[in-house]
Structure 1
Amino acid sequence: MRIIVPMAGRGSRLRPHTLTVPKPLIPIAGKPIVHRLVEDIAGVINQEIEEIAFIIHKDFGKQVETDLIAIAEKLGAKGSIYYQEQPLGTAHAIMSAKESMQGPIVVAYADTLFRADFTLDTTADSVIWVKQVDDPSAFGVVQLNDKNEIVDFVEKPKEFVSDLAIIGIYYFKSGETLRDELQYLLDNNVMKGGEYQLTDGLENMKQKGMKFVPGKVDEWMDCGNKNVTVETNTRMLGFLHVDGENMVHASAVIENSEIIQPCFIGEGVVLKNAKVGPDVSLGKGTRVEDSTIKNSLVQNNSVIKNAVLDNAMIGSNAVFNGKFTSISIGDYSVLE
């Protein structure tokens, strides 16, 4: 099994945090989004992962590439790096890694997290991860027949056809078949809105009689902007707490401070005269003094003093000393 992860976009809606770090590498509950994503996929497919191919932009830099390779290796897989030079759509992004489209593959877009408990149907030609939503008009949805097979893909339906939204994770029994279908789109310049779309390839496969089935997830968590990223951090902390995971590193220094679970307290964190939690992640090396923090996400090696924070997101190596509450400041920012 191989996993293909298109992640060349910078994540403009999550600025300033994505000015220095690609969105999929922003930690949620102490672990990068893309790391949690591939771990969760590994749990669902329950197969050995041979390779994880990451599709990035060259501007991301060598350190990002090193970090991604390390994520793959932690799962016992080979890590591969491919580049997408132009944002020409979902099909174009996937085809940037066409050399790795061999055998069974999972394609997963690295801006979402999920929780699921279903068995992957490896007899199907494709499994499309979906989540029931209240407002399907905002999503691409799938329509099912009485055999629980996908018979149609509808993008942002104006009239109700289904409430099963496509979350951006797909299994294909044959990576070669998908590659051939997407290559047809590129070779024949089949575009919509100036982009090559994966759904056009899926439609062609369906018309040829290939079997598509849904994989229904229990939770679907977005990381599109600051508010929903903080919310996703909160939900992930809750899941990990219920699972019994210890989220306070043994090296943390806690002086005259209170931690209200669930919280992630990273390596070398220092708390002095602080009240932290619930629903707070503090990255390694961060220092919090004379402050109260809840429902917030703070990255590595930052300093927070004299603060009362709620629904806040702070990057790495930042300094915050003040009375603002719901803030969003990026890496290396100073506000005091």
Structure 2
Amino acid sequence: MAGRGSRLRPHTLTIPKPLIPIAGKPIVHRLVEDIAKILDEPIDEVAFILGDPAFFGDDLVKSLEELAESLGAKASIYRQLEPLGTGHAIMCAKDSLSGPAVIAYADTLIRADFDLDPEADAVIWVKQVDQPEAYGVVKLNDANEIVELVEKPQDFVSDLAVIGIYYFKEVGVLKEELQNVLDNNIQNGGEYQINDGIKAMMAKGKVFKTGNVDEWMDCGNKNVTVETNSRMLGFLQKEDTTLVAVNVRIDNSTIIPPCYIGDDVYLINSTVGPNVSLGKGSHVTGSVIKNSLIQTHAHISNAKLDNAMIGNHVRFDGDFTSISIGDYSVLE
């Protein structure tokens, strides 16, 4: 989670992308907790690879330590100070690379329910997609083992896209292969990639299987992040998760579920929902909001919002609809 999330600016100018709340909870918190549910076994350690301490600071570290502790695990914090690729990022945490491990990119959310294949040396999570030429995909043999990774194939290879979550029965093997990648300066696109370590494992006979997810949700840019928020709200509603805080004040207003409404929100002469996340301390007056993601302490007046993403401590009074406003902005 060391990247700056440039495609999600202006929201990531003030907060790291993995801490952007989706349905009231930071992306990285949802991801780690969902992986823990799938594994259904004790977790000893959660290692986080962060970027520059000037941006990924003490508050973030504290929240990650609390996340690990909530799972009965210790948190280990590592830094990738240069954007040198996924393989390099993983090796920044080389002191933690032993035993069974899951490696995940922190801008992906999933819904899944399956058992890991005990015969596999590794599992790569995949999702069937309509346009495989836009993704990295896996090629399978007759035994449904992964035999090749192909990036954005122009000719059809498969429609199983790699989503960026991996399981290794012994992650120390990957560590050895990635060390070889670094030592021999093996780069793709000017970066050291996890795929080169995986391909070296395959060449030595390690068995890779697929793990299929039911849902794969991206948080790469504003539009897909708003869509992911809507989809997550729908899943949480079906799971009977409490989404509206008990101390929400409602004055001549309507909430159309599913919505996440945080603590101390005040709704006046407004309609909110469906598919809206509204962070704590926000005030909404004379507005209609749907399919939108709004962070904490925002003041929204006289608005008709749809497909909007609004940051923390924003004041907005106007008639624009599909907007993207970063933290501490004022439009009145």
**Normalised by the shorter chain, which TM-score bucket?**
over 0.9
Aligned-residue Cα RMSD (Å) equals 0.9
The residue aligned with 1:164 is 160
Gapped regions of structure 1 (runs ≥ 5): 1-6
Q: Find the partner of 2:36 among 42, 53, 56.
A: 42
Q: Does 1:330 align with 2:326?
A: yes
Tell me what 1:12 maps to: 6
**2-structure distance, mates of 1:52, 1:194:** 28
Which region of structure 1 is more displaced relative to structure 2, 40-49 or 207-216? Answer: 40-49
SS at match of 1:142: strand
Aligned partner of 2:237 in structure 1 is 241
Deviation digits for residues 146-203 of structure 1, max 9, x if unmatched?
A: 2111111111111001100000000001121111111111111111121111111101
Shift of 1:77: 1.5
For normalisation by structure 2, the TM-score amounts to 0.98
| Structure 2: unaligned runs, 5 residues or longer | none
Match among 102, 105, 108 for residue 106 of structure 1: 102
2:8 & 2:72 partners in 1: Cα distance? 31
| Residue in 1 that maps onto 2:49 | 55
Q: Distance in 1 between matches of 2:195 and 2:87?
A: 8
Counterpart of 1:320 in structure 2 is 316
Matching residue of 2:297: 301
* Paired position in structure 2 for 1:33: 27
Q: Distance in 1 between matches of 2:173 and 2:9?
A: 37
CA distance in 1, matches of 2:234, 2:95: 39
SS of equivalent to 1:325: coil
Which residue does 2:77 correspond to in 1?
Answer: 81
What whole-Å deviation, never above 9, does each CA across 1:95-147 have from its counterpart, x for those lacking one? Answer: 01111111100000011111112111233110000000011111110011121
After TM superposition, the structure 1 = structure 2 runs for residues 118-197 of structure 1, keeping only pairs within 5 Å, are: 118-197=114-193
What is the CA distance between 1:67 and its match in structure 2? 1.5
Cα distance in 2 for residues equivalent to 1:99 and 1:255: 55
Per the alignment, in what secondary structure is the counterpart of residue 245 of structure 1? coil
Counterpart position of 1:3 = none
Q: d(CA) in 1 for partners of 2:225 and 2:319?
A: 22
SS in structure 1 opposite 2:76? strand
Identical aligned pairs, as a percentage? Answer: 65
2:216 aligns with one of 204, 209, 220? 220
